[in-house]
Amino acid sequence: MTILAIDFETATSEAASACAVGLAFVEGGEVTQRHYTLIRPADLRFDPGNIRVHGIRPHDVLDAPSFPEVFAGFADRLEGALVVAHNASFDLKVLGACLSLYGLAQPRFSALCTVAVSRRLWPDSPNHKLSTMAARFGVGFRHHHAGDDAFACATIALEGVQAAGARDVSDLADRLGLRREVAARRERALGGIADRALASQLRPAGAGRGPFRYTVRGSRGTPYDVLLAQFGQAGAWRLACSCPGARFRAECRHVRALHEGDFTDLAPTEAPALAHLERFLLDRAKL
């Protein structure tokens, strides 16, 4: 049986926005293979809170493979495997949401949560966070780096094998009664309503009449207008802000933040206009 620890990082609060994944394969009581890759989400919208957690920004994933490309690299090993994750409900939700988004089949496998293992075997721990348990076992790692997190998770599972006197991680899951079965799901034909909605979000920024107007909040809460429009004889699309700083430089701090995918100061925006902004930022980053 294949045993692998998995960890995802996401670009937003949406489960289908995976932007990185780490894998750690366990064989013969040790981690024998480790894999890490960035993932290019379906769009380049990153929530500032997520960026603060893992440090991944839109420009980091421009040349990264899409989720289907990444999944193809380990899909065959997932069938019938035991998947280990710390707070497994989150990582399984991300996996399932990404598979659903792209209409991909979900293999049948079982899962084990090392948070539950930690609570069962080490109740004396002040908490059972990944960082706390990793420190307990002397694992040095970069927290919220998916590759390091997956390795730390695998290490916790192996420590659990020793603590419980189990034969291996699979036996550990059964001894503790923590194995969760995940059913297979067939591939979905694309072209439905959800797929058309996704496609509409990825139209070029120039599609439609424009210009598109957004509102950003200044440092003192003053609202300013940001315009996405075509300027000059060449008709190039760019952002222009009405704040005082924009009078003295081509790129004020509000425009610079938007260029970096930071929407912290952006006021709530209707989905169609936001989709145009996201597509503009994607096209600009490719230049």
Least confident of 100-109, 197-206, 267-276: 197-206
Residue-level pLDDT at 210? 65
Domain boundary among the residues 161, 193, 225 is at: 193
Sheet containing 30-38: order of strands: 30-38, 18-27, 3-10, 82-85, 109-113, 180-182
The answer as to whether 198 is a domain residue is no
Q: How far is CA 68 from the centre of its chain?
A: 14
Q: 177 with 235, same domain? A: no
The answer as to whether 119 is a domain residue is yes
Q: 95 with 163, same domain? A: yes
| Region at 55 (left for phi over 0; alpha for psi -120 to 50; beta for the rest) | left
pLDDT in tens, 1-20: 999 999 999 998 999 999 99
Q: 210 with 183, same domain? A: no
Residue-level pLDDT at 47? 85
The answer as to whether 106 is a domain residue is yes
Q: 89 with 12, same domain? A: yes
The answer as to whether 89 is a domain residue is yes
| Separation CA 269–CA 135 (nearest Å) | 43
CATH number at residue 29: 3.30.420.10
Q: 144 with 22, same domain? A: yes
Residue-level pLDDT at 281? 87
Q: 95 with 170, same domain? A: yes
Q: 211 with 157, same domain? A: no
Q: 74 with 9, same domain? A: yes
Residue-level pLDDT at 192? 54
pLDDT in tens, 19-47: 999 999 999 999 999 999 999 998 777 88
Residue-level pLDDT at 231? 67
Domain boundary among the residues 146, 161, 193 is at: 193
The answer as to whether 146 is a domain residue is yes
Q: 81 with 21, same domain? A: yes
The answer as to whether 183 is a domain residue is yes
Residue-level pLDDT at 201? 40
Q: 139 with 20, same domain? A: yes
Q: 77 with 119, same domain? A: yes
pLDDT in tens, 140-152: 888 899 999 999 9
pTM of the model: 0.70
Domain boundary among the residues 146, 175, 193 is at: 193
Q: 222 with 99, same domain? A: no
Domain count, the chain: 2
Boundaries of domain holding 253: 203-286
CA atoms within 13 A on the CB side of 157: 39
- 140 vs 72, higher pLDDT: 72
